[in-house]
Amino acid sequence: MKGKTAEKHQQWQLFIKELVTFALLFAALGLVVYFLFYQSIYHEMNHGLQWQKNQIMQNSPVPRVNHLMGSEAQKAQKAKNQVPPKDGSFRANLVVFNKNGRVINDPMLGERDYDLLKNTQLIKRHLNRISNLSLTADGITGHFKTLLIKVPKSNPNPVYAGRYVLIMKNIDADLQALTNFRTALVTTLIIFWILAIAIAYFLSRSSMKPIILAWRKQRDFSGNAAHELRTPLTVIQNQLEYLLTKPKSRIMDEAEEVSTALDEVRHMQTLTNQLLMLARSDSNVIQLNQTDVDLQPWLEKSVKLYSDIATSQQKELKANIKVSGHGSFDPDLIRQVLTILLDNAIKYTPTNGTVTVNAKRIHDPLQHEALHLQVADTGPGIADSEKTKIFERFYRTDKSRNSKTGGNGLGLAIAKWIVTRHHGKINVKDNEPCGSVFNVTIPLKSAKTSV
Ligand code: ADP
């Protein structure tokens, strides 16, 4: 339950992080787009004001840039401000002041703009500066960009000569365009943010899935390991506590308790070795020690030890090993696979039962040389529904039976890892008339077949 809350918490954190990232990205994108739009509008407007200024100052026709070459082109560059604004619709109002700040071109202002523009004042500190100006008349407010210039007395136009001219460009339409653009941009960003919520949720779920899975596996693994270690520890503790109550006894008198404790110590040793092996396999630190192996003698020797163990338990072990030549694999690890399979086969075969080991060289489906090992027993067999599960860590078909047999469900998981690491295959089938058959196929890398 606690684990589930931690997982949810992690997923939630990831979701928030992704959402914030999306939000920041969209906000940055929105700002950049808005800034560019804003710039393009005002750049054109400022250029228009400068152009108008040049028109007044020079009072001369504008040269056609396209027809100019060489040094002429430089002149054209200089006269860039003489190029009319792109849209061609630049129309400014011109208010002419005398030295005392009185508007002297009232008749030129036009009836429509007169009411608004007559309130304009001469602010000399704005000379040669582009400024913003808002004017209100009859409840209507107009917004302007302005440029105040002082026209020299030498100017051929008598209306402007020696006067101040305020060039005014009405920007109401541009402000409206900016407002509309801002509204459209914010609406689009909100829609995308809502989409981002769904995407962030989906991403956080799908990216957390493998992490949660690995996390659960790890948690189950540690939980199971602790559980498996607790039983032998409890037995050892009980035996030792019992021995403490008999301080005068000789070891010989309490041999059974000592031997039980020792058995549990051995069991724990096996378990910790297996846990270590799996932990190292998970972190990929186990390197395969590929060695050239003479197969027949190596297999006979590996199986021989188990023949004695089977006999001591009134079980029979038949070995049918016919493998010529050499093969390359990690002999220690493959022997461990054999040990796990033979150990289980003998363990689960009843008294007077038979365990059979077959070994032969085969060609796998891709026509590569492979070693095929088969360990068959006449035990209780394995139900179809459990044939794949038994290769999972800590999986045992019958917990009570296995607590007696001393297994902890790690052997086949290790065997599977070793075989897979060798690019081989392992599976289990039913034996006839009873029991199970474990099949292992290991590719033999460099095969030197003996003649
Ligand atoms: P264990 O140490 O418990 O034997 P394994 O991983 O080797 O762990 O085996 C997992 C489970 O598979 C065993 O607990 C047992 O239930 C089942 N099993 C393995 N080998 C055999 C077999 N030869 N016959 C029947 N059941 C088997």
DSSP string over 4-64? HHHHHHHHHHHHHHHHHHHHHHHHHHHHHHHHHHHHHHHHHHHHHHHHHHHHHHH-SPPP-
Q: Say if ligand 1 is within 6 A of residue 337 CB.
A: no
User: For residues 91 and 52, is the Cβ–Cβ distance under 8 A?
Assistant: no
Task: Supply the pLDDT for residue 425.
Answer: 95
Q: What angle do CA 134, 138, 144 make, to 5 degrees?
A: 20
User: Atom 10 (ligand 1): residue with closest C-alpha?
Assistant: 409
User: Atom 2 (ligand 1): residue with closest C-alpha?
Assistant: 407
Report d(CA 76, CA 112) in Å as an integer.
Answer: 37
Task: Supply the pLDDT for residue 451.
Answer: 31
Q: Say if ligand 1 is within 6 A of residue 353 CB.
A: no
Helix, strand, coil percent values for the chain (each to nearest 5):
55, 20, 25
Q: Say if ligand 1 is within 6 A of residue 142 CB.
A: no
Task: Supply the pLDDT for residue 429.
Answer: 97
Task: Supply the pLDDT for residue 261.
Answer: 93
User: Atom 21 (ligand 1): residue with closest C-alpha?
Assistant: 344
Rounded distance from Cα 155 to ligand 1 centre (Å): 108
Both tokens assigned to 109: 């202002």
Indicate which atom in ligand 1 lies nearest the CA of residue 377.
23
Q: Say if ligand 1 is within 6 A of residue 424 CB.
A: no
Domain borders along the chain are 92-170, 208-282, 291-443
Rounded distance from Cα 430 to ligand 1 centre (Å): 14
Rounded distance from Cα 429 to ligand 1 centre (Å): 13
Q: Say if ligand 1 is within 6 A of residue 271 CB.
A: no
Indicate which atom in ligand 1 lies nearest the CA of residue 348.
24
Nearest to 265 by CA among 227, 236, 291: 236
Give yes or no for a cis peptide into 433 (omega within 30° of 0): yes
Q: Say if ligand 1 is within 6 A of residue 436 CB.
A: yes
User: For residues 318 and 354, is the Cβ–Cβ distance under 8 A?
Assistant: yes
Report d(CA 235, CA 399) in Å as an integer.
Answer: 18
Task: Supply the pLDDT for residue 87.
Answer: 53
| Amino acid present at 120 | T
Indicate which atom in ligand 1 lies nearest the CA of residue 410.
6
Q: Say if ligand 1 is within 6 A of residue 428 CB.
A: no
User: For residues 44 and 85, is the Cβ–Cβ distance under 8 A?
Assistant: yes
Distances, alpha carbon 221 to alpha carbons 214, 217, 292, 360, 415, in Å: 10, 6, 35, 36, 17
Q: Say if ligand 1 is within 6 A of residue 396 CB.
A: yes
- Identical fold for domains 208-282 and 291-443, yes or no, is no
Domain 208-282 architecture: Orthogonal Bundle (1.10)
* pLDDT digits (tens), the chain, 451 positions: 556 677 788 888 888 998 899 889 999 999 999 999 999 888 888 888 998 898 888 764 433 333 334 445 445 444 555 555 655 556 778 889 988 888 888 777 766 566 777 778 889 889 999 999 988 887 888 899 999 999 998 888 888 889 999 998 888 988 999 999 999 999 999 998 899 889 888 888 888 888 888 888 888 888 888 988 998 999 999 999 999 999 999 989 999 999 999 999 998 998 999 899 988 888 878 888 999 999 999 999 999 989 999 999 999 999 999 998 999 999 999 999 999 999 999 999 999 999 999 999 998 777 788 999 999 999 999 999 999 999 999 898 876 544 455 678 999 999 999 999 999 999 999 999 999 999 999 998 654 443 3
User: Atom 13 (ligand 1): residue with closest C-alpha?
Assistant: 396
Q: Say if ligand 1 is within 6 A of residue 443 CB.
A: no
Rounded distance from Cα 410 to ligand 1 centre (Å): 9
Rounded distance from Cα 52 to ligand 1 centre (Å): 95
Torsion 227-231-237-238 (CA) sign: positive
- Under CATH, to which class is 291-443 assigned? alpha beta
| Amino acid present at 52 | Q
Alpha carbons within 13 angstroms on the beta-carbon side of residue 23 total 9
Report d(CA 81, CA 396) in Å as an integer.
Answer: 88
Rounded distance from Cα 383 to ligand 1 centre (Å): 12
- The model scores a pTM over 0.75: no
